[in-house]
Structures are given as structure tokens and as C-alpha cells.
Amino acid sequence: MEPREKTHLFGTPGEPRLRIRNPSGLVSIETADTSETTVELDALRNDEVTQLALEQSSVEQRGNEIVIEVAKQGWGFLGRSPEVGIRVRCPHGSALDCTTASADVEAAGRLGETSVKTASGDVELPHVGGAVRVHTASGDVRVDSADGEAQLKTVSGDVRMGVARSELSATLVSGDFELDEAHTGLTASTVSGDQQVRSIREGRIRLQS
């Protein structure tokens, strides 16, 4: 029987950049006080198409970048796509560049500059020490806090932001927008949904619904 998971360990002193491509499944990231990056890939479903995607996936280090790519596969039994879970433990401040088609993205700890794009899936991010950009067609977006510019977009889903310390732009078509605290400017628009802003320290505010 083929193994249902793969584990990789890299020495990453400093703050590495994670580049992740996962068509469907799960991406889970935890930052810690460490100088190593551990990557675990596992099959979330016990079928041939998922196992093949796991076997053909690649994880490698390119300088200060960790590149994780799950192989694209066709549809399996009953029209199911493969589902692979990616779990990463890396140093605090690691940058993230993540693209998925249908996968949830979740993180805990402290990230650096972050970009997440997904067609279908929820995105949950912790404190981001730089700029953050999230774009999902169908899914909820939650960011605890961001030091840099924040651009959050979703077509069908809610957006919740904790503390925005720089400019924040939130664009929604069908969903609610919620913000705890903004330190500078805010631009938020939604076609169908409620908006709730609890605190603005300074800067220009533009709300459109």
C-alpha cells in the first residue's frame, strides 16, 4: 500500500517565503519560534485520484523559498477531484503566497506579507506583519490584524477584520463586512450585505452598500 502522507524538513533561518499551490483540500499553517520548516502532505480521501496527486506532488527549497505544489489530476470516481492536506510549521514572520481552487486556508501565529487566492474556500489568517491580499470567489475571509495595507475581496461570503493598522479595502458582492478597529483609511463596499465598523482612529472613510 502506498503511503498516505509525506513529510519534509528544511533549515530556514530567518523568515522564509512559502509558495503553495493546492487545487483542492486544505492548507494549514502554524508559525513558531523555530529555524526550521516542516511540511506534511496527506491524503484527505482514500481514493486513487487523491493518492496519485499526493505521489506526484513536489516540495522543495529554493534559496529562502519553500515551494509546495500539489499535482493537478482529473476527476475520480463519481466526479470527485483529489483532496490533499498541506500542513506547515515555520518561523514567525514567514511570508505566504498561496493559490487554491477549492480549499480552505487557515493559519495561526504571525505571518509576514501574505497573498491568498482561492475560487472556493474559507480563509482564516492570524496577525500579518506586512501587506495582506485575499481574494476568494466563494468563501468567508477573516484576518485577526494586519500591519500593512489590506485588500480583501469575496464574491459570496463574509469579511471580518480585527485591527487594520494601514489602509484597508474590502470589496464584497454578497456578504457582511465587520471591522473591529482601523488606524487609518477605510474603503468598504458591498452589493448585498450589512456593514459594521466599531472604531476608526483617523483617516478617510468610504462605505458603500
Per-residue pLDDT for the chain (209 aa), expressed as one digit of tens each?
455 788 999 999 989 999 999 999 999 999 999 999 999 999 998 888 898 999 999 999 999 999 999 987 654 444 567 899 999 999 999 999 999 999 999 999 999 999 999 999 999 999 999 999 999 999 999 999 999 999 999 999 999 999 999 999 999 999 999 999 999 889 999 998 899 998 888 777 777 77
The rounded distance, in Å, linking the Cα atoms of 173 and 191 is: 5
State residue 71's pLDDT score: 83
State residue 204's pLDDT score: 76
Alpha-carbon dihedral angle through residues 136, 184, 106, 196, given to the nearest 10 degrees = -70
Q: What angle do CA 135, 143, 16 make, to 5 degrees?
A: 80
State residue 1's pLDDT score: 41
What cell numbers appear for 153 in the block? 475581496
Q: What are the Cα distances from residue 129, in Å, to 27, 69, 91, 174?
A: 20, 25, 13, 29
Contacts of 181 (CB under 8 A, 6+ apart): 162, 163, 164, 198, 199, 200, 201
State residue 30's pLDDT score: 99
